[in-house]
Amino acid sequence: MTAQPTDSPASSSTSAERLAAPVARLRDVHQSYGRSLALAGAALEVAPGERVAVTGPSGSGKSTLLLCLAGVLRPQSGDVEVVGRDLSTLDDAARTRLRRREIGLVLQFGQLVPELTAVQNVAFPLLLESSGRAEAEAAAVHWLDRLGVADLAGERPGALSGGEQQRVAIARALVTSPALVLADEPTGALDTVTAEEVLAVMRDAASASGAALVVVTHDNRVAASLDREVVLRDGRVVGDEGSR
């Protein structure tokens, strides 16, 4: 088979369009829990490699927005796209596959599997995708090393500090080379110094891997360290400052 030139006008145009396309997009998203309205027409676009803070008062819909982006929650109306895929057209199994391959999740308390070692926790998403154990664990060690905790590879979560657990959780989120990393209050349970260290590590590691980063936070220092701040209030975006 003859290889097609990669620098033809058509292929260049296609590449440019792909690079320009948002890695994630929400349009007119509504979600409520009983009588409680969480999102009321929320809209957001995230560019490839962009680092975005989502802020707002408690109950403004921040975590719900993140769950919709992750494909964990199917909104009652509106559109959610990740890497060009309309999540409303995917069944549960397809959304799970997309989430495993294209989205890394970092939660406030790490959510590591307590029975597994650090390296096993990080390797787990790759094993779910049928990678060989040796290959998966080698990739896990690589990311643990980049996050500065390779010496803890054989330890279980109970033996790790909060900051160490979050570093392992970040390594797990990045091991699949996702296009999008979503973090929900990732420094909320940490002291100030550890929080700053973990945030810097997560921000730099995501940038190095080319992943876009969306961080839900109530901490103004976290928001100020990212490229852009999106402010939610009553389920709507009421502020958007920074790079676009």
Question: pTM here?
Answer: 0.86
User: Which residue shows structure tokens 């590449």?
Assistant: 15
Q: Which two tokens stand for residue 80?
A: 């959610």
Radius of gyration of the chain (CA): 18
Nearest CA among 79, 10, 12, 76 for reference residue 44 = 79
Domain spans in the chain, listed from the N-terminal domain onward: 22-242
Confidence of residue 194 (pLDDT cuts 50, 70, 90): confident
Helix, strand counts (H, E) of the chain: 8, 10
Segment 151-169 mean pLDDT: 95
Mean residue pLDDT of the chain comes to 89
Cβ partners under 8 Å of residue 18, min gap 6: none
Q: Which two tokens stand for residue 2?
A: 């003859």
- In this predicted model, what pLDDT tens digit does every residue of 114-131 receive, in sequence order? 999 999 999 999 999 887
Confidence of residue 20 (pLDDT cuts 50, 70, 90): low
The CATH homologous superfamily for domain 22-242 is P-loop containing nucleotide triphosphate hydrolases (3.40.50.300)
Predicted confidence (pLDDT) at residue 240 exceeds the cutoff of 70: yes
